[in-house]
Chain A
Amino acid sequence: MTALAEEPAVTATGTEALLEVRDLVVEYGRVRAVDGVNLRIETGEILGLAGESGCGKSTVANAILRILRPPARIVSGSVLFQGDDLVVKSIEELRRYRWRNVSMVFQSAMNALNPVMRVGNQFVDMMQAHERISKRRAIVRAGELLELVGIDKRRVRAYPHELSGGMRQRVIIGMALALSPELIILDEPTTALDVVVQREILQEVEALKRDFGFAVLFITHDLSLLLEFADRIAIMYAGEIVESGPAAKLASDPLHPYTQGLIKSFPPLTGVRTRLTGIPGSPPDLREPPSGCRFHPRCPHCLPENAELYLRQTTERPRLREVAPGHQVACHLVEGGAA
């Protein structure tokens, strides 16, 4: 595979994406949590966003829905939904856009249900806030949605405490589907659940996606899940995207040393048992991000002996560059033709 860095990006022009995040910068006070992030989600695809805690992946999701809480604020950049910039929309316009166009399922969403209200009535509330629908119709619809996510429709009469954690998370996913949004954001949707339940829920999301054609932004620290479920994956580190590309490509041919380290951080369940190394050090403190490439203090390829490269790695921020169709990397090694 030859890298054609000079070739124009295939996706940068042409058709309009379902959602496009452009040069997004989000700050918490003086801490820059998201620093110039670009993302593109096409209709009906699953985009995975992976990274460790504090890398800014959830902040990106919250910025897309405009639900950042002060002191977090969008400093610059735009979030285009079907070409419409959400960053400049009014509260009322945003209210209509949430749930109907983009809905979101959080890690702790299963705890977001009102404990003293029957599940069905919570669907009714949400639907009536967005469209004219009778309570009777809404309850019927709620039952249909529960069936869709694998829960008996009679459970519309259940209270949240009568459901297991996995079932509550399914309820939330059902709710997220209620108004047939074009995009569903899943932020660590199964992290708090047992592996078997996690697997079932993801299978269901995949099947529903095939039937309804919505797109998914799937945020998680578990890269191994994304390699399996996502069409494309973007890897975030210290507020930046360091690599993005088709899931199969990242699995077989990861280029950024951080991606390579992450993949090697998951012990395999089959094959020979070998000693892994993980990634030395820990993610940086974003109050004082490292100079140059933010990964350089942990990078196995950043060596003072290699003086010229070392200087660039420690002083110059690498830009995301297209190395193959749809595969972008921000790394001096790759820019230098070492890939």
Chain B
Amino acid sequence: MSALEVRDLSKRFAIGSAFRPQHVHAVEDVSFSLRPGTITALVGESGSGKSTVARLIARLYDPTSGAVLFDGGDVARVKRRKDILGYRSKVQLIFQDPFGSLNPVKTVRHHIERPLRIHHIVPPAQVDERVYDLLNTVGLVPPDEVAAKYPHELSGGQRQRVAIARALAVEPKVVLADEPTSMLDVSIRIGILNLMIKLKEERGIAFLYVTHDLASARYLADDILVMYAGQIVERGPVEQVLAEPLHPYTQLLLAAVHGERIVDRGVGGGAAAVDPGPGCRFVDRCPLAIPACSATTPELVETAAGHAARCFVTAPSPTST
């Protein structure tokens, strides 16, 4: 059973001028599902489209095509404010920047109380108690003292915890965390990651963890999706994908973080998503490329239970060979 499913999701952005129009295929035919009580890591470099996926699911953008299935319906095209609010109370987004996502003139209490009241989560008489519960849950103690503070009185890690408490206030089924630790100091990142693990275990929340950091993905996630130039190029159980990567891009990423000597003369993945040709988006950087790679884009082919890659060489389709 999945908590949320994304099916053939695509998003194009128009760039360039009127005389030379171009389109970034920021997200193309992305499909995956998030299961309750699991963390799915969405990994990619900048410009790979990973944050766009999170924003499409959060309904901050309208998709060009495709569906976001939640609670038995497609929410990708929901337009009525009431319906969007209802959806947002079940699917919450946590941003990278805990400095920009809190209102500097409001107390911590205000930030957490607001969603409780707007979405009528608890009767008004119980709001205080629930605020303290939530602060306790995210490790901000003593809760009554923290509740009275303003964002500037908190450290980056504490602010991110407030943002998480706020997201939890509406009792979401799904939390989308977009690089939640990348702006935090190294020594406090683990604390936030551990908090996400605890919430997954205790509350059965389905997390989408968007990151560029493979090591934290391995630490945190059950499943991993690797994105390159708008497409998912590999997916599977995190341990298996990182131990036996199939796609040459995943292999390159791993070599880079393992400190192996790498040879790569390609441009970043962002450029490969601009008006892409018919072939594989990775072909210009790929050490394994064969002629077929320039002619058509490979499909995601499953090679082992749940482990799939988009590569003619390492994950050939059983029917085409």
Contact = CB atoms under 8 A, between A and B. Distances in A.
Interface in A35-53: 52-53
Interface in A48-66: 52-53
A265 B187 contact: yes
B148 interface: no
A265 B190 contact: yes
Contacts of B264: 196, 200
A196 B256 contact: yes
Nearest to B186: A265
B72 interface: no
Interface stretch (A85-93, A140-148, A269-277): A269-277
A156 interface: no
A52 B187 CA distance: 8
Interface string B242-275: 1000000000111111110110110110010000
User: 9 closest Cβ contacts across the A-B interface?
Assistant: A278-B190, A267-B219, A194-B45, A279-B187, A282-B155, A199-B256, A52-B185, A196-B256, A195-B256
Given A199-B262, A203-B261, A223 B212 contact: no
A264 B212 CA distance: 20
B122 interface: no
Contact of B257 (A53, A195, A223, A282): A195
Contacts of A282: 155-158, 185, 187-188
A197 interface: yes
Contact of B185 (A203, A268, A276, A283): A283
A261 B46 contact: no
Interface residues on B, range: 35 or more
B216 interface: yes
Interface in B178-206: 185-191, 193-194, 197
Interface string B148-183: 000000011110000000000000000000000000
Interface in B37-60: 45-46
A198 interface: yes
Contact of A267 (B157, B190, B254): B190
Nearest to B260: A199
A166 B268 contact: yes
A275 B194 contact: yes
B254 A269 contact: yes
Given A195-B253, A196-B253, A198-B256, A278 B212 contact: no
Interface string A190-206: 00001111111001000
Given A265-B189, A276-B190, 19 more contacts: A52-B185, A194-B45, A194-B46, A194-B212, A195-B45, A196-B252, A199-B259, A199-B262, A221-B186, A228-B259, A261-B187, A262-B187, A267-B190, A269-B258, A273-B218, A273-B219, A275-B197, A279-B188, A283-B187
Contacts of A199: 255-257, 259, 262
A194 B268 contact: yes
Contacts of B45: 194-196
Q: B-side binding surface: helix, strand, loop or mixed?
A: helix
B267 A164 contact: yes
B91 to A, nearest CB: 27
B214 interface: yes
B215 interface: yes
Interface string A59-78: 00000000000000000000
Contacts of B46: 194
Contacts of B254: 269
18 contacts: A53-B185, A165-B268, A194-B45, A194-B212, A195-B45, A196-B253, A199-B255, A199-B257, A199-B259, A199-B262, A203-B261, A261-B187, A265-B186, A265-B187, A266-B215, A278-B188, A282-B157, A282-B188
B254 to A, nearest CB: 7
Contacts of A203: 261-262
Output the residue of B156, B254, B257 with the most chain A CB within 10 A: B257
A278 B185 CA distance: 11
Contacts of A268: 215
B256 to A, nearest CB: 4
A150 B193 CA distance: 37
A16 interface: no
B219 A276 contact: yes
Contacts of A164: 267-268, 271
Nearest to B242: A269
B185 A267 contact: no
Given A197-B268, A221-B185, A282-B158, A267 B256 contact: no
Contacts of A231: none
Interface string B206-238: 000000101110110000000000000000000
A171 B197 CA distance: 42
B48 to A, nearest CB: 9
Output the residue of B191, B218, B254, B271 with the most chain A CB within 10 A: B191
A222 interface: yes
Nearest to B261: A203
Given A166-B268, A203-B262, A269 B189 contact: no
A332 B139 CA distance: 30
